[in-house]
Each structure stands twice: as structure tokens, then as C-alpha cells.
């Protein structure tokens, strides 16, 4: 009996090789997963190794043609049906993606780039598959084409909101909420300064952050420098009066106290303030330097204040934005602004899909 070994990316391909080489009566003696070297030694890939023989030894039970006619007791058939449905469901949910050897060799370096940017493995595989499906076969060897296709794939995960639009003479109310220290107050100051200086509008500020002694002073300092009215609301009951006290403004920007996503009571309190303010938009401010789990929990916990947009801050400080990408992709809320430094009013820009994708992929620098 001659035995031979075949390797391929999938079981189907390996069996096709066996059939081609040994014909339909080949016998499969063994199959196993092995790790194969890839292009330029970059990365490794699971491969299927099949050992097959031309003549069946007496004790080999299942030869290839026999598989098709193998009849199972009916209860096994039913259980197999359930198992099949379960695998399909898990596959649809992406839960077994990591088991699939589904990345073309040419795109392994792309996959490695994503992992380096701290994109979670399952998402990285999905993005690479997206690239593999869209790119023309003769383009897959061209780094430029792969790079552009990858950016397109990342862009498709990034919902973008238009910048705040203000109609002179009508009053728009916008609140910024978020975890502690992410840059809410600084971002309020940047927005206010830009609307006043660049667009000639009349913004006013409200703060509900009376919990820290320095918090009101921080915003008051900005209000004085930019020359804007400022009102303080100490309780939800004072909120309406505070907004009205600003007089004839086009845009009311509400700065709120940083809340730990774990502190549900404080987040509810914030919701009470906003219920009175009835803002037109609530932007959840997230720092790009935060880890994926913290970001995810902030998105979940601040849902009670009806945050409908995201502002991404500290892009200048962040390394490895893959976690941010994963969270944004699932948060179901578009991104309105990006901030890129401490300077008021300069370090803010309306979110741009191509720019953000390039930043995430390290294809572009912040400044
Ligand atoms: N590098 C960098 N620093 C920023 C950015 N935005 C804000 N900061 C800094 O982050 C720190 C905290 O900013 P704040 O605006 O006080 O943050 P906050 O969310 O209002 O904080 P709390 O009110 O305490 O919850 C300050 O030192 C800011 O200068 C940014 O885009 N990049
Ligand atoms: Mg603040």
C-alpha cells in the first residue's frame, strides 16, 4: 500500500488533491491541522494535512466513496441536524470565525497590520475578508490597492454625523456627557470659540458640574476669555432658568460633570438634568486613549441619557485605535467631532470618515 500526504488550506481542497492524485478509491488514513509557513515568512496559517492510501487496508472502515452512502440511525441524523444548525448560527454570529482558515496568503500582512493596531482578532478577520471579497484578483498583489481597500473596509464601520448646525435666530441646545477627564469641558470651550469666532454665532454655556470646586471656575475662565454668557444649574429644577438666563443665544452648550460609567445613580441624576434641558443633541465624549472595555461600558451606561452622537477626544495621545474601531462599529451612534490636542480653539475638527479610518490604520498622522 502506498501512502501519501497532502496539504491544503481547506479539507475540500486537500480531498480534491487526493482524488486527482489517487483516484476515487483512495482511502483517508488520517487528517490533522498543521501550521504552514506563509509568504515572506510573515505569519502562519492553519492548513489541513491529509494522509491517504491507494489500497484500503482491511481495518480501514471508511473509504472515500463509502462516506456518501454511510447510513446513520435516525436519531443520529436528527442530532447531526441540530449540530449543523448550531454551527451555522455560531458562524453567523462570528463566534467561530477564529477557527476558519479564511485569509488569502497575500492579505496576511494586512491582517498583521490590523492586529498591530489592536483591532480585535474577529473584527480583523472580517475586515480582511471584506478586502478579499472586494479587491480585483489582479490587484491583491499591489500594496496601494490593498491599502485603499482596507481603508474602505474600515470606513464602512464608521458612522459619521454632520457637525452641529446652528440657524441664527433659533436656539439649539447641545449637551456633552461622558466619563471623567475625557475632555468635555475643553471640547465645550473649543466648540463655543469656533462657533463664535469662525461662524459669528452667539453661543452660551451652561454647566451642571458643581461637584468639583474647580469645575465651574474652569468653564468660567473660558467663558470670560471667549466672552460668552455662562449660567450654572445646581439642580434639575434650576436648569430651565439657567438656559433662559443666557438670553438671546443661537447655541446653548451644556457641560456636565464627568461620571464613572459604573455609577448608575449619578448617571440617572444627569439624566434628570437633561430631561429638563431637553437638548436637541447629546454627544457622548469618549477618549481614544481608553481601552475597549471601558469604551464599551461607557456607551452602554450613557445610553440612559440618550446620547445620540460620539465625540472622540485625545486622538493625538492614543496608540492602537483598534479597540476604538471595534466599539464605534457596534455603538450604533455616529461620530460628530474629533479632538487632537489641548489647544482651545484649534484642536477640534468635524469627524471625517476617510481621515478617521486613516488615523486608525496609522496611514495618516494627527498633525
Ligand atoms: N492631548 C489631549 N488632551 C486633551 C484633549 N482634550 C482635552 N484634553 C485634556 O484632558 C484634560 C481633561 O480635560 P477636561 O476638559 O477638563 O475633561 P472633562 O471631561 O471636562 O473632565 P471632568 O469634568 O473632570 O470629567 C485636560 O488636561 C485637557 O487639556 C485632546 O484632544 N488631546
Ligand atoms: Mg469638565
Write out pLDDT tens, residues 112-129.
889 889 999 999 999 999
Which grid cell sits at 329?
A: 462599529
Q: Give CATH superfamily name and number for 172-360.
A: P-loop containing nucleotide triphosphate hydrolases (3.40.50.300)
Question: Taking 70 as the threshold, does the pLDDT of residue 68 lie above it?
Answer: no
Write out pLDDT tens, residues 117-173.
999 999 999 999 999 999 999 999 999 999 999 999 999 999 999 999 999 889 999
- Calculate the average pLDDT of the chain: 85
Q: How far is the CA of 212 from the centre of ligand 2 (A)?
A: 9
Which grid cell sits at 253?
A: 452648550
Using a 6 Å cutoff on CB, does residue 250 contact ligand 1? Answer: no
What are the structural domain ranges in the chain? 3-71, 76-155, 172-360
d(CA 208, CA 125): 44
Contact 119, 361 (CB under 8 A): no
Q: How far is the CA of 176 from the centre of ligand 2 (A)?
A: 10
Q: What is the pTM of this model?
A: 0.75
Question: Taking 70 as the threshold, does the pLDDT of residue 14 lie above it?
Answer: yes
Write out pLDDT tens, residues 94-107.
554 454 467 888 88
Using a 6 Å cutoff on CB, does residue 181 contact ligand 1? Answer: yes
Using a 6 Å cutoff on CB, does residue 343 contact ligand 1? Answer: no
Contact 51, 5 (CB under 8 A): yes
Going by C-alpha positions, the residue among 137, 131, 138 that lies closest to residue 109 is: 131
Mutate to test the pocket of ligand 1, among 342, 344, 359, 366 (most ligand atoms within 8 A of CB): 342
Residue 252's DSSP bridge partners are 173, 204
Q: Which of 38-47, 93-102, 182-191, 332-341 has the lowest mean pLDDT?
A: 93-102
User: pLDDT value at position 25?
Assistant: 62
* Neighbour count for residue 28 (Cβ, 10 Å): 17
Amino acid at each position: 500500500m502506498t501512502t501519501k500526504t497532502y496539504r491544503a488550506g481547506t479539507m475540500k481542497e486537500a480531498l480534491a488533491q487526493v482524488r486527482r492524485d489517487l483516484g476515487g478509491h483512495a482511502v483517508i488514513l488520517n487528517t490533522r491541522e498543521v501550521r504552514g509557513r506563509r509568504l515572506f515568512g510573515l505569519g502562519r496559517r492553519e492548513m489541513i494535512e491529509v494522509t491517504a492510501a491507494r489500497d484500503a487496508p482491511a481495518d480501514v472502515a471508511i473509504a472515500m466513496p463509502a462516506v456518501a452512502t454511510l447510513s446513520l440511525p435516525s436519531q443520529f441524523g436528527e442530532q447531526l441536524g441540530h449540530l449543523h444548525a448550531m454551527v451555522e448560527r455560531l458562524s453567523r454570529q462570528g463566534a467561530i470565525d477564529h477557527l476558519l482558515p479564511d485569509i488569502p496568503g497575500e492579505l496576511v500582512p494586512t491582517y498583521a497590520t490590523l492586529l498591530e493596531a489592536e483591532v480585535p482578532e474577529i473584527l480583523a478577520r472580517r475586515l480582511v475578508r471584506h478586502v478579499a471579497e472586494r479587491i480585483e484578483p489582479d490587484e491583491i498583489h499591489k500594496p496601494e490597492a490593498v491599502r485603499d481597500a482596507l481603508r474602505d473596509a474600515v470606513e464602512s464601520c464608521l458612522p459619521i454625523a454632520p457637525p452641529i448646525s446652528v440657524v441664527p435666530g433659533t436656539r439649539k441646545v447641545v449637551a456633552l456627557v461622558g466619563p471623567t477627564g475625557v475632555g468635555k469641558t475643553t471640547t465645550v470651550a473649543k466648540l463655543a470659540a469656533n462657533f463664535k469666532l469662525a461662524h459669528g454665532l452667539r453661543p452660551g454655556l451652561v454647566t451642571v458640574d458643581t461637584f468639583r470646586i474647580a469645575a465651574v471656575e474652569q468653564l468660567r475662565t473660558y467663558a470670560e476669555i471667549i466672552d460668552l454668557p455662562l449660567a450654572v444649574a445646581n439642580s434639575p429644577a434650576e436648569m430651565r432658568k439657567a438656559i433662559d438666563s443666557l438670553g438671546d443665544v443661537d447655541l446653548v452648550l451644556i457641560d456636565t460633570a464627568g461620571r464613572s460609567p459604573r455609577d448608575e445613580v449619578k448617571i440617572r441624576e444627569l439624566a434628570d438634568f437633561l430631561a429638563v434641558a431637553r437638548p436637541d443633541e447629546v454627544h457622548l465624549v469618549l477618549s481614544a486613549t481608553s481601552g475597549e472595555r471601558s469604551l464599551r461600558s461607557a456607551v452602554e451606561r450613557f445610553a440612559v441619557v440618550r446620547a445620540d452622537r460620539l465625540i472622540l477626544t485625545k486622538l493625538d495621545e492614543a496608540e492602537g485605535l483598534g479597540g476604538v474601531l471595534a466599539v464605534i462599529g457596534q455603538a450604533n451612534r455616529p461620530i460628530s467631532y474629533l479632538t487632537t490636542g489641548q489647544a482651545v480653539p484649534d484642536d477640534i475638527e468635524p469627524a471625517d470618515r476617510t481621515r478617521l479610518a486613516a488615523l486608525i490604520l496609522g496611514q495618516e498622522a494627527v498633525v
